[in-house]
Structure 1
Amino acid sequence: MSFFERKLKNRKQKFKQKASPKNSRSRRAEYTVKISKSKRELNLMKRRNITITNNSNNSQTEIYIPTLDELPKFVDGIKNSKDTDRIEECTQMIRRMLSIEGDPPIDEIIKTGVVPYFVEFLKDSNNIFLQFESAWILSNICTGSSEQTSYVVNLDVIPVFLQLLDSESLDVIEQSIWALGNISGDNLGFRDKILSFPNSFKKILDVYHNKNINQSILKNTTWTISSLCRGVPSPDYEKVKNAFKYFGYLCKETTTDLIVDACWGLSYLSSGNSNQIDDLIATECLPRLVELLGHPSPRVKIPVIRAVGNVVTGNYQQTQSALECGLLEKLQPLFTHKRDQIKKEACWVLSNITAGTTEQIQKVIQSGFIPIIYNLIAETKIYVIKKEAIWTLSNAVWGGSAQDVINLVGSGICKAFVPWLQRKKEHSILKISLEAYAKILSIGEKISENEGLESNVYAQELEKLGIFEYIENLSNHENSNIQNLVAYILNNHFYTFQNQVNKNESNSTNQDEDLNKDYEF
């Protein structure tokens, strides 16, 4: 048995020897008062940084924040004192040192060797206050660097925090949830380590079923669960998929923080295959997500766009489900949002819709999006926005009907792809631009055939814009797929068009000579 185990066993035995129902109730009440004061400090600390004051009853009381010079005496009190009150006081002082904003002395505290004591204090169910303060300390250490978080994790603290989710104290539960969220958020290995414990995710989800759960615990639980669902590669979906129903419910809340974390969770869980998108739709929260696109806070908009965007990456019916919720109407104002990230994400969503069926592309065109996208390309200086916008147009051209392409060309989109023909190193965007021109020229051939015209009407337009010259410059491109696409366009459309023009010019010259001869005759 280790030193810590012997010491804590002796302390537990002392508590048991003196315990009586009356004394136990009194002790729990005392801890509750102490915890309430500590939680008040937490709330104030978020507002007041280092100096904490209370102006109630027209008096001002500052909560004492220890200096680093005092750390040795607190460490000594924890390691060597046999007085419970002294141990509690020293633990709380160290917690206050770690609760300051800016640069808390995490390394200095770790170097004292006192942190393992806090892990042992977590296991002392007879002292809820000490559990609470220790959980808070360890949670704050886990907000530090990966090395600092690893130090705590290597003390085998994860199963202890999971066990504390069954505590009779909501405050201990909250701090344990908070700590698990900090650990999970540090790296994917820790995320998977938490999920590797039997029923660990279920235990965290079960916190939602606590009848006494308050808004603060609800928020921290949602944030932690969302953190456990995040990351690339994704966690084992079978382990985390049950969070869908909770996120689906919580996104219907009115509290911004809850909505944000729930929507991020939905976006993480739905970023996989078609079955995962179906699971999101099954929560019946899709209409709410579409509604939240109009939320005033960008913190809400971004995860909502991601979640809805995942839905429209799916199959026809999944995309249609989002459209039937009024997605296009809610999406349109986002293209003029002041935040560039929101514009970019909106373009990404729309590009996935224009990658859908002909009917869905027509819906986008009929909703007036093409001029919006075209103007966005012309006006924005943000490269990633332009790129997503070009994908939107290219998908619309490639997947649209002949009439759709005619309408798109009529709106002037041929010019939009020209700058991308000069980006020879960006193969994907160059390829989709060439594919768009190939589809446009193909439709031009059909128009010419149907109307009995001698040459491709769209080839004439591309020639006027100098586009064929840019395409010819790509004939020796390093990418074979692009080479083949360029050869197809030139051989099947441009050279045929040139030959027809040359033939027409030749016929025109011969006619002029005949006219002259006739005149001379």
Structure 2
Amino acid sequence: MLSENSRITNRSGNFKRTVGTTDGRRSRQQTTLHIRKQRKDEQLRNKRSQVHIMDENNNIMSMSNVLRGRKATVADIPQLATVITGSQSTAVDKLEATKCLRRLLCKERNPPVNDILNCGVLPHLVYNLTADPEDYSLIFETAWVLTNVATTNTKEILAEGAAGPLVNLIVHDSPDVREQSMWCLGNIAGDGVEARDEILRHSPFPHLKRNLEKPSTLSLLQHCLWCISNLCRGEPSPDRSMTDPIVYELAITMDKLLGVSDNDEALNDLLWAFSYLSRGDEATINHVMGTGIHFKLITLIKKKRPKVLMAPIVRILGNFVGGNDNQTDCVISAGLFDCIPNLLASTSANVRKETCWMLSNIARGSPEQASQLLKQRQIMESLVDRASHDWWVVRTEAIYVITSLLQSNIRTSVVVPLLAVGGLGSLVRFLEGPCADVGLVKDVLEAIETILDFGMKNTEVGFTHMLDEYGGIALIDGLQEHENEEIYGMAVRILENYCGAEDVDENLAPTADSDTGAFAFGVKKQLFDSDGVPPSFEF
């Protein structure tokens, strides 16, 4: 008869509940011969999927027989699965086996998710979510296991029907169970729109709202907000009938968090939720702005809260100013322009990019809004600097602001203030870059043409010399070789109309101011006030 150690060693065979010792040995030998002929990965799969281990006396696999006082390893997963799935396993053993799976999945590197999925235990784990509510330890540990599995595989969890039970657990009596369930749902929803929508089918927001109203702990609140954020994320956005009721509760929660220290993680998730909820039409934006959140966001910027909060804040404000003129005016009136210089000077390239995107929405707004932006000299100087000397993604968004101003209904009033802060140079330098966006290149050429046309009509010498000083003529000349016919045509037109070979008095060429370095223009006197800028655009 095989010793106990030998019996443990050979547990990879196909055991039957009625075989004797001799037949069992023969069965194991035959199985071993068969396995040797298979690939190594097939051996592993067979071990995980075919093993049926039993105690010789009572046909029940107990945790004491599995571990024998040692810590569980990946090799023990099939045995642990047998304990969890066994109809005669004790509640204590099922709980301990689930804990062992959870500990194995908490490994920082290469958690054995596939090993657990391959052993067929997932349906039983999902079933255990619906265990007696008083057995909260088993429910909690099961939800924790599924949370870790969901970091790499949500499809199988959803296929087993876990979404509904997890949503129901959001209102479990145990705060730990509620928190872990929200964590798991957040992991699943973060996998994509399809997974998110499967959860939304079970109406989670009313349950989540209850946890916002009376969170047991700050940690629970953080996971609740993270779950909400992921459920609002993705395109298309969830139907407003689902999300509208939670908007005002989020605003109330924000007020509470602003009075708590060490809350940046929770506040960050809340702000991202608002950024997703504020996407859409004017009615959607209006519903979110009705909470008065734009005033709070601008206050946060002025207080220079951690930069991790700035990205969602700028995204929300950008969504607001992308609405109708009244919505944009509300944000500007709340003090937006006072915050922009700090945002454009952020150490985060993403914040700088998002800020330029927000300004481009204003530049494309009403003439009054574009004029207000143009009057902010510090912003315009920083914007031109971003368009000239930043990461390419930031430069691109900054150029959109400049070209939008020069395409607006106030374009003729834009030229001189823009030139005063070096705007033409930023346009020329952009043509030197690796821009593959044909539409944006055309916008830049159109902006340059607008400047040159204004100079020809309103100055004694025009701005061609300034363009040449920046190297623009040579760059535009090179665009005559561009493969796009429209760009080629625009380059030819600019060169022929504004950069001809006729003689120009060098004494009339723009010169640089010795103090500021800005160009002085031979512009007709009536266009300027005593400071040398258009009267309606005093910086």
TM-score (norm 1): 0.74
CA distance, structure 2, for counterparts of residue 165 and residue 403 of structure 1: 58
Shift of 1:319: 1.6
SS at match of 1:186: coil
Q: Which amino acid aligns with 1:427?
A: V
Q: For the Cα contact (< 8 Å) 1:334–1:346, is it kept in 2?
A: yes
CA distance, structure 1, for counterparts of residue 150 and residue 268 of structure 2: 22
Q: For the Cα contact (< 8 Å) 2:154–2:195, is it kept in 1?
A: no
Q: Which position in structure 2 is the counterpart of 1:319? A: 328
Q: Which shows bigger deviation, 415-424 or 153-162?
A: 415-424
When the two chains are superposed, the root-mean-square deviation of aligned CA atoms in Å is 2.8
Change (3 A) 1:242 1:475: farther
In the alignment, structure 1 residue 163 sits paired with structure 2 residue 168: yes
Q: Which position in structure 2 is the counterpart of 1:5? A: none
Q: Which position in structure 2 is the counterpart of 1:290? A: 298
Q: Which amino acid aligns with 2:421?
A: S
Shift of 1:184: 0.7
**Identical positions, percent:** 28
Q: Which amino acid aligns with 2:294?
A: L
Q: Which position in structure 1 is the counterpart of 2:384? A: 374
In the alignment, structure 1 residue 418 sits paired with structure 2 residue 424: no
Q: Which position in structure 1 is the counterpart of 2:233? A: 230
Q: Which position in structure 2 is the counterpart of 1:350? A: 359
CA distance, structure 2, for counterparts of residue 68 and residue 431 of structure 1: 60
Change (3 A) 1:472 1:114: same
CA distance, structure 1, for counterparts of residue 276 and residue 81 of structure 2: 42
Q: Of 202, 209, 230, which residue of structure 1 is paired with 2:206? A: 202
CA distance, structure 2, for counterparts of residue 83 and residue 348 of structure 1: 60
Change (3 A) 1:471 1:72: closer
Q: Of 77, 81, 87, which residue of structure 1 is paired with 2:83? A: 77
SS at match of 2:108: coil
In the alignment, structure 1 residue 395 sits paired with structure 2 residue 404: yes
Q: Which position in structure 1 is the counterpart of 2:443? A: 432
CA distance, structure 1, for counterparts of residue 469 and residue 264 of structure 2: 53
Shift of 1:281: 1.0
Q: For the Cα contact (< 8 Å) 1:247–1:263, is it kept in 2?
A: no
Q: Which amino acid aligns with 2:137?
A: F
Shift of 1:342: 2.1
Q: Which position in structure 2 is the counterpart of 1:515? A: none
In the alignment, structure 1 residue 67 sits paired with structure 2 residue 73: yes
Shift of 1:487: 5.8
Q: Of 223, 229, 235, which residue of structure 2 is paired with 1:220? A: 223
Q: Which amino acid aligns with 2:275?
A: S
Change (3 A) 1:431 1:244: farther
Q: Which shows bigger deviation, 394-403 or 435-444?
A: 394-403
Q: Which position in structure 2 is the counterpart of 1:151? A: 156
Structure 2 unmatched runs, 5+: 1-69, 506-539
Mapping of 1:10-89 within 5 angstroms? 66-80=72-86, 81-89=88-96
Q: Which amino acid aligns with 2:298?
A: V
TM-score (norm 2): 0.72
Q: For the Cα contact (< 8 Å) 1:121–1:130, is it kept in 2?
A: yes
SS at match of 2:354: helix
In the alignment, structure 1 residue 240 sits paired with structure 2 residue 233: no
The structure with more helix, counted as a fraction of residues: 1
Q: Which position in structure 1 is the counterpart of 2:452? A: 441
Q: Which amino acid aligns with 2:419?
A: V
SS at match of 1:370: helix
In the alignment, structure 1 residue 186 sits paired with structure 2 residue 191: yes
CA distance, structure 2, for counterparts of residue 158 and residue 352 of structure 1: 39
Q: Which shows bigger deviation, 367-376 or 187-196?
A: 367-376
Shift of 1:499: 6.4
Q: Which amino acid aligns with 1:313?
A: G
Q: Which position in structure 2 is the counterpart of 1:307? A: 316
4+ residue runs over 6 A deviation? none
In the alignment, structure 1 residue 278 sits paired with structure 2 residue 290: no
Aligned residues: 426
In the alignment, structure 1 residue 114 sits paired with structure 2 residue 117: no
Change (3 A) 1:136 1:473: same
Q: Of 413, 438, 462, which residue of structure 2 is paired with 1:457? A: 462
Offset from partner CA, 1:219-245 (integer Å, 9 cap, x none):
111111110111134333443333322
Shift of 1:428: 2.4
CA distance, structure 1, for counterparts of residue 270 and residue 362 of structure 2: 24
CA distance, structure 1, for counterparts of residue 436 and residue 118 of structure 2: 51
Q: Which shows bigger deviation, 240-249 or 111-120?
A: 240-249
Q: For the Cα contact (< 8 Å) 2:386–2:398, is it kept in 1?
A: yes
Shift of 1:265: 0.8
In the alignment, structure 1 residue 131 sits paired with structure 2 residue 139: yes
Q: Which position in structure 1 is the counterpart of 2:498? A: 494
